[in-house]
Each structure stands twice: as C-alpha cells, then as structure tokens.
Structure 1
Amino acid sequence: MTEEPEAKATRGASVERAYTEIRQRAMTFAIRPGERINELQLAKELNVSRTPLREALNRLTAEDLLTFSVNRGFSCRELDAKEIFDLYELRQDLEAGIVRRVAERAERAELEEVLAFLRETAELPEDTDVDRMVSLDLKFHEWLAELSRNRQMLDALKSVNTRTYFVRWVDMTDTRRDDTQAEHRQVVEHLLAGEAEAAETVMRRHITRRMDQIVEMLKRGYAYIYVTQAMNRPDKG
C-alpha cells in the first residue's frame, strides 16, 4: 500500500527530529561511550514511534556515530585514540588541500569577508562558553571549505568534524583562544597575499595533534563524561 503524502511527510519530520536530537547526544557523548541505547525509552523521550527512531539510528550508524551488533543493538561509539589520531591526520591533509583550492578559486572579496568575521569574533568576551567557541571554529573551517568550490571536500570535512566534535570541544577548553584566532587570521592573510604555501603550512600546524596529546584529551574527556556530565543527568547505565 502506497504511503499517503501527508503521512510520509509526518514520518520524515519524525525521522529528522529524532536524528538531530540523537546526533547531538552522540557527538557530545551525552550518551556515554559504549552505552547501549534503549530504543523503547528513547522513543518515549523523543515522542516518536519505533519506525522513524530506527531509521534515525541506522542513519547515525552509517555515519559512524553509533555502532550496531545483533546481541547489543545500537550503542554509542567508543572514544578510541587511534581512530581520533587517524581522523586528525585525515583532517590535516584534507584542509591543506582545501587551502590550495581556495588559493586558486576564491575571490579576494570573499577572503576579506572571512577576515572581517575573524576580527569581529576576536572581540568576544574572554568568558565566552566553549560551545560557542567550537561553533565559531567550525564555521571558519567549513567556510573555507565552501570557498574551495569543491562540494566533496566540504562534505568530507563536515563528516570528520562531526566524528571529532567532542574531542575538539575538550581540546578547546585547554587551548589558548588568542593562539587559535591568530592562526586562523594568518591562514587568511597569507591567502590574501597570494602565499598559498605559507597558508597551507600554518593550517597544517594549526590542526596537527600528536598521539600523546590525543590520549591526554581523551583522559580529560572521560573525566568530563563520568564526573561533570554525570552530575547533570540521571544515571542511564
């Protein structure tokens, strides 16, 4: 039997709503690493039926934010140091390529707009919360990817950013904001000066993380998940 357009639209909206909410929880590890997802409870929390919920969960599994096994069902992915290290290596090479494409394809006015954005956001109060800082950081990097005029590069970067969001959040809590902002400006200033190689060098340095740094970030991340975060939610284990 063919699904009526109105029913199809309603189901699609439910899937999208469930996907957006669970994605945010998975990105921020509000669902703890390795935690099994109780589908009945989650469906009740989100006020959706099991079918759109399962569609959302399958979509997030395909994006590597969740895992699925026959015995355990859906679970939040683990925080794995080697996986994060590999993603940072991928991001480093990807964003270096993006900078090269931007140098070839972006208009000067577009780069000046990015630089103006960086100068404006540099004036934010020192006590700006970490979520806001991560949001601004993501906007800068994805804006450059848009200026590469390569949709596949942009989509690939968004995927990497989603999978490393939490570690990036932890890193931002211990990163001097002035240094991060300065490196962003240096990349754009080099591009405006026609210095593509120098811009790429700064971008690579900006992104690079050693394995020991990632391990330390994960330690702080687990402390946040199981201590700080646990104080703000009922135990779901």
Structure 2
Amino acid sequence: MADQGSSVDRVYATLRDMAINFDFKPGERLNETHLTSKLNVSRTPLREALNRLVAEGFLTLAKGQGFFCRALSPEQILELYQLRCALETEALRHGIDRASDAEITDFCTYLDATEKTYDSCDDLTELLKMDEEFHMRLAGLSGNNELCRMLNNVNERIRYVRLVNLRQLRGMDRTEAGENTFLSAHRTIANAVQNRDTQAALIALRAHIERRSEQTIELVRLAYSQLYVPS
C-alpha cells in the first residue's frame, strides 16, 4: 500500500505540473495508455491521480470518453480572476483585523527584502513565483488555512495566463506599463496594511488584481498563440 500511495503521489505531482503549464493542450483528450508508459506506472495509480486533478479543476472527465485537459476560455479565466479577488479581499479584511503587529511587520519586511529584485529579474517564472509568494503571505495574515488552500489552487489554475501577462508587461516600457508594475502595487498594498487602513488596502488590492481580469480575452488569445506557435 505504501508503494501504491507513493506511486500515486509521484504521478499526481508530475501530471499536475503538466496541467498547470498546459503541456496538455486545452480540451485535449489524455491518452492513458501513453501516460502509463511515459510515467512507468500502472493504470490504477494513474487513474487515482487523474481523478484528483479533476477534483481540483485541472482536468475534466467525460463519461464514456475519458479525461481531458481543462478548457482555456476568457469566461473561465475571468471567473477564476473574480474568485481570486474575492478570496484575497476577504483574507485581507480578516488579516488587518486579526494579525498582530509582529506578523504585519514580518510581512512588510519580506517585501523590503525582495522588491528590489522585481525590476532586475529576467526570469519570468521566478518573478511570478515572487508575486504569488507576496499574495500568499498577504492572505496568510488572515490565519485561515482553508482560504489560503483555495487561493493556492486558483493561482495554479491561472498561472500560465499570468505568465503570458508578465511577458506582455515586460515588453512594455515603464511609462506604458504604469501602475501595472508589481513594485508600486505591492508597496501600496503593504503600506495600507501596515497602517491598518482596510479601505485603502482593498482599493489597492482590487486595482492590482481586477486590472488583469479586464484583459482576459487578449490574454487568452496570446496564451493560445504561445501554446500552438511557440517562440
């Protein structure tokens, strides 16, 4: 049983990374025979891993047809951005209310230590990782582990599109990018949290997140172009 469990975890982790990065194309039917051979695993742990990914929203299951990669549509991405905004703003309200001064100081100290690398970082994957870390730490001030777990799932499901967005923003000059730069947005949010100014923090956070949701149609178009015509 231990070996079976470890096989499921290994296959799950591999398939999860593939799904996050859209190594499976949107709407593509997964070839289970090919996957069992590629991952050197039997059908049973593969199926268990695939079902876990269906439950988490990375794959879909059609009765009598099999497993499919999730869709990549403006409507779905917009819904996920809206969910992200709802989760983060709710976490922010609770965080400002319940977090201790020491916890907020630690959060701001993290930003102090990392924000200088944002402008100079050329690795977009690393840049996105830092951005997600900032937002997860912000949500973590709420002390609500279930909320943070849900937010992490949403982050993973929109990660590919956010990477496309980052690549797009890095192609702009600073004047054109304006307030889209993480540096100014994160600092504005952190300052409001430090002052326990809930209204200012919510306004800054919503602007930081919702600005991207308005661009979902263009972002999905760009995502498809990069998936099917890689640079």
TM-score by length of 1: 0.87
Q: Report the alpha carbon displacement of residue 49 of structure 1 after superposing the two structures with TM.
A: 1.2
CA displacement, residues 153-211 of structure 1 (integer Å, 9 cap, x when unaligned): 11221121122121111112123597212211211111111211101110011000466
Q: Is 1:226 paired with 2:219? A: no
Supply the distance in 1 between the matched residues of 2:142 and 2:48 (Cα, whole angstroms). 33
Q: Report the alpha carbon displacement of residue 120 of structure 1 after superposing the two structures with TM.
A: 2.3
Supply the distance in 2 between the matched residues of 1:100 and 1:211 (Cα, whole angstroms). 21
What's the RMSD between the two structures over aligned residues? 1.8
Equivalent residue number for residue 142 of structure 2? 148
Equivalent residue number for residue 4 of structure 1? none
CA contact (8 A) 2:24 2:69 kept: yes
AA matched with 2:123? D
TM-score by length of 2: 0.89
Equivalent residue number for residue 22 of structure 1? 15
* Percent pairwise identity: 38
Equivalent residue number for residue 57 of structure 2? 64
| Pair 172,73 (structure 1): closer, same or farther in 2 beyond 3 Å | same
Q: Report the alpha carbon displacement of residue 109 of structure 1 after superposing the two structures with TM.
A: 2.2
CA displacement, residues 100-136 of structure 1 (integer Å, 9 cap, x when unaligned): 1110111222222222222322222624211111111
CA contact (8 A) 1:66 1:75 kept: yes
CA displacement, residues 46-89 of structure 1 (integer Å, 9 cap, x when unaligned): 12111111000001011111011134311101101111111111
In structure 2, stretches of 5+ residues that fail to align are: 170-176
Q: Report the alpha carbon displacement of residue 42 of structure 1 after superposing the two structures with TM.
A: 0.9
In structure 1, stretches of 5+ residues that fail to align are: 1-7, 230-237
Supply the distance in 1 between the matched residues of 2:115 and 2:211 (Cα, whole angstroms). 24
CA contact (8 A) 1:85 1:209 kept: no
Runs of 4+ in 1 over 6 A off after TM superposition: none
Q: Is 1:121 paired with 2:114? A: yes
Equivalent residue number for residue 187 of structure 1? 189
Equivalent residue number for residue 97 of structure 1? 90
Question: Which residue of 70, 84, 87 corresponds with 2:80?
Answer: 87
